[in-house]
Structure 1
Amino acid sequence: MDIRQLEYFLAVVDQGGFNRAASALYVSQPSLSQAVRVLERDLGTELFHRIGRRAVLTEAGRALIEPAREAVRSLETARASVAAVHELSEGRLDVAAMPSQAVEPLTTLIRSFAERYPGVAVAVKAAFTTRDVIDAVRTGAVELGLLASAGPVPDKEVRSYVLGEQRFVLVAAPGSFPGRQVVRSEELAGQRLIVGQPGTGMRAYVDSLRDQGIGFTVAAETEHRVALLPLVLAGVGLAVVTESWREIARQTGADVLDIEPATALQVSLVSRRGVLSPAAAAFWTTAVPSSP
């Protein structure tokens, strides 16, 4: 067994099949399949059920995912440690972020990090819920995560630091609330709203409106946060988002109103407990200057 075989195995898992994995790795599909077959022989068990062109994980395959990620991550950490001797002149850092927090504060954090370590590339992975971010960090798919939650981060397997808060605001087509800068939550009664999928902070907020007896119509439900502003500007409905979207929404011509009473989410940076790679440690220090 070697790291290359584990990397190939994880590529098949992450890409959903051998052909896509081969394309992502820039290797031939036969070479990839052969490497995985050798790994299976070394382990004495099949890792995938081959069903036509599909590759379905066996129970043994599912059990290998987390140890394989840990082994690959350990090698990357070793490589990064060597690069650290040269003051992080090169390397890569994987960060998972929820959509709104990928707008801010992640943009500002990456800018500050890039100014100090221009040779280190930051790869941002999409995660739609708090649990998605925590699981990505916990399993080693990424080293750091940026999330928003209604309270403390609910996981003992990661360490977290609260970077601040983001309150909810209402994004509306121009002229929807003439001369207004603030809207009461009860004024959303009878409105058509564009909502996110269950598990997101914005969805939890609008669901709480129903619990308060504030009725509204769901005009659209979208996992694609980039669709929110076009839908609002097209007059499909209103959207409740965090204030990280405020400037971008205004630049596109939408109206942004504060919602009263104010409700906010905590924005936290999370990592696995234990030793971080030099790049992850540097990013953490950039975000949390007082950290050791």
Structure 2
Amino acid sequence: MDVRQLEYFLAIVDRGGFTRAASALYVSQPSLSQAVRALERDLGSDLFHRIGRRVVLTEAGKALIHPAREAVRSLQTARASVAAVHELREGRLDVASVPSQAVEPLTSLVSTFSHRYPGVSVAIKAAFTARDVVDMVRTGAVELGLLASTGPFSDTEVVSYALERQRFVLMVPADGPFAGRTAVDCRELAGQRLIVGQPGTGMRAYVDALRAQGIEFTIAAETEHRVSLMPLVLAGVGLAVVMDSWRDLARRLGARVLDIEPETSLDIALVTRRGTLSPAAAAFVTAATSAAGPGEALQQPNEHRSGR
């Protein structure tokens, strides 16, 4: 068994099949299949059920995912440690983020880091919810995660560093309601047409809470694609409750952004696994927490309530 075989195995798992994995790895499909068969012979167990062109993980395959990620991550950490001797001149850092925080503060964090360590490539992985981010960090799919939360974490395998707080705001088309206003009371959303995200996100939880308070509105559109929120608002489909991180971009594209009163906010945090980080990850955390000001890692959390 070697790490290359484990990387091939994980590529098949993550890409959903041999063909896509071979394309992503820039290897031929026969070479990929041969490497996996060699790994299966070494382990003495099939890792995939091959059903026509489809592959399905066996129980042995499912059991291998976590240790394989650990092994690959350890090798990457070892390589990065050697690179650290040369002042982080090269390497790669994987960061997972929910969409709103990928707008900001992730843009600023990556910008600061990239200017300090231009040889390190930052790979940003998409996650739909804060729980997804935590799971990606916990399983080793990424080293760092950026998320928004209304409370502390219950997962004792991760450490959280508070960065900032973002409030909920209302994104409105230029010719939409509340003209000349800079703020709106949440009760004024009654009777409006709203564009919302899928259940499980902080923005959706906020509007669901309004409805639970008796504030009735119409859901004009529900989308899992955060990138479609702003075009839908600008097209006049409805209004959208988003995080304050959207403010500058929305205004540049012609939307109006109003504060929602009373203020309701989410805490933005960077999460890592417990234990030793790669030099690149450690440098990113240091840069992020320095920019955020003195803070304390949240240890032994209790309840996890996520947002975006």
- Give the TM-score taking structure 2 as reference length: 0.93
Q: Retained in 1: the 8 A contact 2:161–2:295?
A: no
Match of 2:234 in 1: 233
- 2:264 corresponds to: 263
Give 3-state SS (helix, strand or coil) of 2:181's partner.
coil
- The secondary structure found in structure 1 opposite 2:184 is strand
Q: Tell me the SS of whatever aligns to 1:36.
A: helix
Map 1:38-57 onto structure 2 (within 5 A): 38-57=38-57
How big is the shift at 1:260? 0.4
Quote the Cα distance in structure 1 between the aligned partners of 2:289 and 2:66: 28
Residue number in structure 2 paired with 1:180: 181
1:32-59 Cα offsets, whole Å, 9 max, x none, are: 0111111111111111111111111111
Contact 1:175 1:255 in 2 (8 A): no
The answer for unaligned runs of 5 or more in structure 2 is: 297-308
Whether 1:71 aligns to 2:74 is no
Amino acid at match of 2:287: T
How far did residue 222 of structure 1 move? 1.0
- CA–CA separation in structure 1 for the residues paired with 2:126 and 2:3: 25
- Which whole-Å deviations, capped at 9, do the CAs of 1:181-207 have from their partners, x for residues lacking one? 111111111111111111111011111
Higher relative contact order (CA 8 A, sep 6+): 2
Cα contact 2:112–2:287 (8 A) shared by 1? yes
Is 1:243 equivalent to 2:244 in the alignment? Answer: yes
**Residue pair 2:97, 2:127 contacting (<8 A) in 1 also:** yes
Cα distance in 2 for partners of 1:162, 1:123 equals 22
Q: Deviations over 1:28-87 (max 9, x none)?
A: 000001111111111111111111111111111111101000000000000000000000
What are the equivalent positions in structure 2 for 1:1-292 lying under 5 Å apart?
1-176=1-176, 177-289=178-290
Look up the SS of the partner of 2:148 in the other structure: strand
SS in 1 for 2:100: helix
Letter in 1 for 2:11: A
Shift of 1:175: 2.9
Give the AA of the match of 2:211. R
CA contact (8 A) 2:134 2:158 kept: yes
CA–CA separation in structure 1 for the residues paired with 2:279 and 2:186: 45
Task: Give 1:129 shift.
Answer: 0.3
Q: CA deviation at 1:153?
A: 2.8
Amino acid at match of 2:70: E
Tell me if structure 2 keeps the 8 A contact 1:285–1:291: no
Residues 7-39 of structure 1 show CA distances to partners (whole Å, capped at 9, x for unaligned) of 000000000000000000000000001111111
Distance across 2 between alignment mates of 1:291 and 1:220: 39
CA RMSD of aligned residues (A): 1.1
- State how many pairs are aligned: 292
User: What amino acid is aligned across from residue 203 of structure 1 in structure 2?
Assistant: R
Distance, in Å, in 2 between the alignment partners of 1:192 and 1:3 is: 52
Deviation at 1:133, TM superposition (A): 0.2
Provide Cα deviations, 1:140-193, integer angstroms capped at 9, x if missing partner: 000000000111133211000111110000001113211111111111111111
Distance 2:216 2:9 in 1: 49
Distance in 2 of aligned mates of 1:229 and 1:141: 30
CA distance in 2, matches of 1:221, 1:291: 36
**Cα distance in 2 between the residues matched to 1:213 and 1:40:** 58
Partner of 2:216: helix, strand, or coil?
coil
**Percent of aligned pairs with the same amino acid:** 75
**Runs of 4+ deviating beyond 6 Å:** none
